[in-house]
Amino acid sequence: MDFEWVAIALGDVVWITLAFCLGFLARAISLPPLVGFLVAGFILGGFDIAAGEALQKLADLGITLLLFTVGLKLNIKTLARPQVWAVTVTHSILITFIFGLIILGLAQTGLPLFSELDLKLSLLIAFALSFSSTVFVVKTLEDKGEMKSLHGSIAIGILVMQDIAAVIFLAVSVGKLPSLWALALFLLIPARPLLQLLLRKSGHGELLVLYGLVLALGGAELFELAGVKDDLGALIIGLLISTHPKSKEMAKALLNLKDLFLVGFFLSIGMSGHLTAEAVVIGLLLLPFMFIKSSLFFILMTRLKLRARTSLLVSLNLSNYSEFGLIVMAIGVSSGWLSGDWLIVMAIAVSASFTISAPLNRNDNRIYNLLRNFWLKFQGEQRLPDDIAVNTKGYTTAIFGMGRIGTGAYDKMRETRGTTLLGVDFNSEHVEKHQQQGRNVFQGDPSDADFWDQVDRDHTIKLIMLALPNLQSNLDAIEQIQNIRFDGEIAAIARYPDDKQKLIQAGVHSVFNVYTESGAGFANHVELQSQALTR
């Protein structure tokens, strides 16, 4: 993978300014900034500004870093769950077959572009439409702090399985088989302790970021040299060090860098060709297919013992089209199987699907609450052990989010609250570690309406402490608390002054600013230690 210095791609201030302005506008109307970046790409493409080599390299770097950070956060056990591999395989086969027949039927009507399609090409387009966007889903889950939730883990697992299927398709379609050197890639497994040792020794500053780039780009390059898709290399390398305690810190260190490079990816989608009225109409015509895809996800997951809410949230996460669909279409065009207009059609469908999927994911809990009785009709009687609502009866204090802050609060309050103190976290690994250390912690989601219904019925909790990873997570939980007319006290953490105001307006009684209050706590600690020494 030959990446040039990315500053070349940022040399044109027009691209940067337009991307910023439209991204800012998208955020102002409650859409993700990436929607604005897509529109910026279409505008630039409309002025015959093609995505140059430098911008494409910037986009490639963003995708590589994205998949590397996905690997850092991926639990390999997740892929072994039937809710991941069985759903992915079944869904991909059924959707390719169903969409293929629908597209072939449209071809018989003589519609523009469709008239040139036969069964083979119809199935190729259907296969491209079967993928969901790794870029979009990971960004959405990161923004909501739900990467480690049950529905987030399952969604990411399905996306990884789809990515593997895409890699296999690319290898077969171009007739390029991995070289014999690909067998040497298995040596990365015994090299894992060395990779993790270097991670531990890399500190917490610029060396950590630089080591992350070395691993992501080096892994991609190694796999490409062996005739394997480079992005898969970045994912595998991330997975190899994902069990190290510092992997989470590395993912955070690379976050802003990755987001910056992904701007190039979204711009390049919009600049992939000239818009035509015909392409726009057909691209929009493909949008209803997206809801067939998400409905099948929902049905399959409820049949595999997932709760209706978990199944719905995963389905909404995956309600979009993928950048891999563009790659599949590009192969079809370059091979002469499809006309170039189909690449533009797919770019429009991908962009429009993001625009629709963004508000659906932002309001996923409201969608569940509004039609809860309908969704529950699909829920089976048996459910997975890690997808059962927590029993809160007998507890008076609940701490949501058992990270460093939540754990510190739990240990301090356990001295006075004892067995009436409950910790809740949606990360199953964190829950297991806390339970091994003797803490009364259970797996649950504070934005889960089913959970709060049970709290409402028991009604013994008098104090709720929200130590969730970001503002939106706290606001989602507060909305659920307000729905049950909770009459106890609510406390929450904030990182910025404007976050504090939003939490108070939402109904929080006490807000702890992590940065300012930690300084005060440090001063109090020193004063107490000084007094103890002088006695």
Pairing of strands 421-425, 397-400: parallel
pTM metric for this prediction: 0.74
* Same domain as 163, residue 17: yes
| Ramachandran class of 485: left when φ > 0, alpha when ψ lies in -120 to 50, beta otherwise | left
Range of the domain at 361: 6-376
Q: Give the end of a domain, one of 376, 404, 432.
A: 376
Structure confidence at residue 131 (pLDDT)? 92
Q: Are residues 397 and 368 in the same domain?
A: no
Query: Sorting pLDDT into bands at 50, 70 and 90, what band is 20?
Result: confident
pLDDT for residue 1 is more than 60: no
Q: Are 156 and 70 in contact (CB under 8 A)?
A: yes
Last residue of a domain, one of 345, 376, 407: 376
For the residues of 309-325, what is the DSSP string, one character each? HHHHHHHHHT-S--HHH
Q: pLDDT (tens digit, 9 = 90+) per residue, 319-347?
A: 999 877 877 887 788 778 888 788 888 88
pLDDT class of 521 with cuts at 50, 70, 90 = low
Q: 223 with 326, same domain?
A: yes
Q: To which residue do tokens 């003797």 refer?
A: 438
Last residue of a domain, one of 376, 408, 426: 376
How many domains does the structure of the chain reveal? 2
Binned at pLDDT 50, 70 and 90, residue 123 comes out as very high
pLDDT of residue 403: 83
Domain check: are 494 and 369 in the same one? Answer: no
Cβ-based neighbours of 331, under 8 Å, separated by 6 or more = 170, 173, 174
Q: Which pLDDT score, from 0 to 100, does residue 380 have? A: 79
Percent of the chain with pLDDT over 70: 87
Q: Which of 470, 480, 388 is nearest to 146 (CA)?
A: 470
Let me know whether 433 and 364 are in one domain: no
**For residue 366, pLDDT beyond 90:** no
Residues 255 and 23 sit within 8 Å (Cβ to Cβ): no
pLDDT surpasses 80 at 107: yes
Q: Tell whether 325 and 182 lie within a shared domain.
A: yes
User: What's the pLDDT score for residue 10?
Assistant: 46
Whether 372 and 400 map to the same domain: the answer is no
Interatomic CA distance for residues 387 and 365, integer angstroms: 16
pLDDT at residue 80 in the model: 80
pLDDT value of position 173: 66
In a domain, residue 383? The reply is: no
Residues 426, 387: Cα–Cα separation, whole Å = 10
The Cα 93–Cα 381 span in angstroms is: 27
Residues 165, 252 within the same domain: yes
Beta bridge partners of 490: 464
Is the pLDDT at 11 greater than 50? The verdict is no
Q: Which residues, other chains included, contact 214 with Cβ-Cβ below 8 Å and sequence gap of 6+?
A: none
Residue 456 and residue 429 share a domain? yes
Question: How confident is the model at residue 49, as a pLDDT?
Answer: 65
Evaluate if residue 314 carries a pLDDT over 90.
yes
Supply the pLDDT for residue 171.
62
Stretch 502-527: mean pLDDT, rounded? Answer: 74
> Residue 166 pLDDT > 80, yes or no?
no
pLDDT reported for residue 533: 63
The mean-pLDDT minimum among 22-26, 99-103, 139-143 falls in 139-143
Q: By C-alpha distance, which of 101, 105, 162 is closest to 126?
A: 101
Q: Which residues, 6+ apart, have CB-to-CB distance to 500 below 8 Å?
A: 494, 511, 513
Are residues 117 and 93 part of one domain? yes
32 vs 105, higher pLDDT:
105
Q: With the CA atoms of 54, 59, 64 and 70 taken in that order, what torsion angle do they form, in degrees rounded to the nearest 10?
A: 160
- Output the average pLDDT for the chain: 81
How confident is the model at residue 534, as a pLDDT?
65
**Residue 390, helix vs strand vs coil:** coil
Residues 421 and 361 in one domain: no
- Tell which wins on pLDDT, 446 or 210: 210
428, pLDDT greater than 90: no
Examine residue 1 and state whether it is found in any structural domain, yes or no. no
Supply the Cα-derived Rg of the chain in whole angstroms: 25
CATH number at residue 11: 1.20.1530.20
User: What's the pLDDT band for 92 if we cut at 50, 70, 90?
Assistant: very high
Residue 382 placed within a domain: no
Asked whether the predicted pLDDT for residue 3 surpasses 50, the reply is: no
pLDDT at residue 101, as a whole number: 93
